[in-house]
Structure formats: C-alpha cells, structure tokens
Amino acid sequence: MIPDALSELLSATQGQRDATWQGRSLLVINDDWGELILSRHGGHLLHYAPAGERGWLWTTSTPKAPPEALRGGVPLCWPWFGEPEDGNGPMHGLARTAQWRIDAVDEDVEGGVEIHLSPETQLHDTLAPRLVIHANAQRLAMELVTEHIGETPIRLTQALHAYFSVPDTHQCRIEGLGGARYLDKLADYAEAEQNGVLGIRGALDRIHHSSRPLVLDDGHRRLRIAKQGSDSTVVWHPGDKLPSDVPERERLNFICIEPACTRLDPVWLAPGAQHVLSMHISPESPAQE
C-alpha cells in the first residue's frame, strides 16, 4: 500500500525516471518485471511490486517533511539501532535522514535492476555504508554493507526496518520464530520464549534472537523473509497508540519485520573489515512449506 500520489507517479512512468514527492527526490521504475520507488533522502526504498501483484511494502500517506525520517518502506537504521548508547544522536542513527546518491542502476542478472547507493557526505568518522538493491519479478534483496575505515575496533548495531503491507495486521501469522528467545521492549526488556506461530493482536515490540528465515502469512499471500549477517529479528506494531504520521485508517495495513543486529548480537568490526546485513524476500506458496 502506497499513497495515491506515488501510484500516480508510477502510472505516468514507463521505464525509469526521476521525480519528486513531499520534498524528496525519487527514482521511479515501472517496467515489465515490476515497480520500484526509491527516495534519495535516507537511501529509502518506498515501494516494490512484482509485475501483476500488489506492493509488498507499506508507506504512510501522511509523511513528515525532510529532514525528518519517512515512515514506511525500508528505512536504514545505522550505525545504531534504537537510541545511541551515549545518548548523543538521533533515534535509529544517521543513515535514514541523510542524503544518498544513486551510484549505478544496472540490469539485474535475473531480468530486473541492481541499484547501488552511497551517502552524499561522510556520516561517521570510522564507518562507511553503502546499499545494494536487487529487484526483479521473483524477489527483492537488500544488502547494507558497512566498511571500517578507521584504526581501532568499533561496535555496530543496525536494522533494515521493513514495513510490510498487509490487508489486516490482526489476521497475520509469522512462522519461523517458534522456540526463539526474545526481549519484550514493552515489558522493560523482559526475556521470554516464543511459543509456535506469532500472531499480532495489539501493540508489539520484540527483539527475537534468531537467524532463521520466516514466512509472513497475511491470509492472502505468503512471503518468505530470509537474511544474512543478523541474529536478531525485530517484530513491531504500535497497536492503538499510533505515531503522528500514521493515519487511523492505515493502522492495520502494516507489520514491521526487521533483520537486525541489536544488543543481542552487536557487530564488532576490526580496521579494514566489513559487514553485510542482507534481507531476501520472495513469494512462498503453501505447497512449499
């Protein structure tokens, strides 16, 4: 689900072009394999849909204006997830409100596109990120690559904060977390174990200690969500206490499932080393279970 204005941009696009929306510079793609919208503000993927399908991602219809972060799509939480440990810096880091440049848009080996991005300015003294997006008619993949360009080891937390579009959050089931320990952020980080399939009935904010692939079943389709470089999976929905940039009519149109590196699995990078956090999304039919 995306705002009407973004749908209109897609309808007016054949192939790919630049456009603007809500003060943000966009790359808009409408091709035989499917659709994609990418914002240079935040290096932020706002929309992806394979040909003939509804979009896999949700983006709010009432976004905050830049330089504020936009809610929806896949924000980049980097180089920290949540609040900074030293209390110095914005929630979820620097990447999601920075300006990114599109370095290359190439043909994907499977018939879609491969997009390379990097920040326009240096965001951190010793860490340098870049983003690679692969999109075609069968899958969406994102790789957030972090290189250590400093001289001493450093700690990194991060997330691909994906907002998945669903018809009704309360009808969703998330398979693959059974038996995983989790921290409940709504209960002062109390630890518990997930029992079977996860359903959403109200506010939820959990960090699951798991590297396993998941399946999001929204009652109409099943999406397989796999990842690499992450032992944390965050599942979040605000319930009835909506952020100011989420309209009430859209309250049950999304669920966040986030490959992450959190306090459970921080990454320690040595000088010259790099880390890749990736997410791979593809359809799964019941016969594939």
Round to whole Å and give the CA distance between 174 and 166. 12
Domain assignment of residue 287, yes or no: no
| pLDDT given at position 211 | 96
Cα–Cα dist 265/287, whole Å: 33
Residue 196 inside a domain? The answer is yes
Say which of 161, 209, 237, 275 is annotated catalytic: 161
Q: Looking at 35, 143, 250, 258, which residue is catalytic?
A: 258
Annotate 4-38 with DSSP letters as a single string. Answer: HHHHHHHHT-SEEEEEEETTEEEEEEEETTEEEEE
So what's the pLDDT on residue 84? 84
What is the C-alpha radius of gyration for the chain, rounded to an integer number of angstroms? 18
Q: Measured between alpha carbons, how far is 194 from 180 in angstroms, rounded to an integer?
A: 5
What is the structure's pLDDT at 286?
Answer: 54
Q: Residue 45: its pLDDT value, please? A: 98
Output the six-digit token pair for 56.
Answer: 């896999």
Q: Which mean pLDDT values do the consecutive 10-residue runs of the chain (289 residues) have? A: 93 96 96 97 97 94 93 97 84 95 91 96 96 96 97 96 97 97 96 96 96 96 97 96 94 97 96 97 69
CA atoms of 118 and 121, how far apart (whole Å): 9
The answer to whether residue 161 is catalytic is yes
Q: Residue 288 falls within a domain, yes or no?
A: no
pLDDT the model gives residue 289: 40
Does residue 229 belong to any structural domain of this protein? yes
Distance CA 130, CA 128 (A): 7
Is 193 designated active site?
no
Number of separate domains in the chain: 1
CB 260 within 8 A of CB 206: no
Read off φ and ψ for residue 14, nearest 5 degrees: -125, 120
For residue 148, which phi and psi values (nearest 5 degrees)? -90, 115
152 lies in which domain range? 4-282
CATH number, domain containing residue 25? 2.70.98.10
Residue 285 pLDDT? 65
CA 66 to chain centre: 19
**Helix (H) or strand (E) run with residue 191 in it:** strand 190-193
Residue 234 lies in a domain: yes
Q: What is the pLDDT of residue 122?
A: 95
- Determine the Cα–Cα distance for residues 154 and 268; give it in Å rounded to an integer: 6
Is residue 289 domain-resident?
no
Handedness of CA 74, 32, 18, 121 (dihedral sign): positive
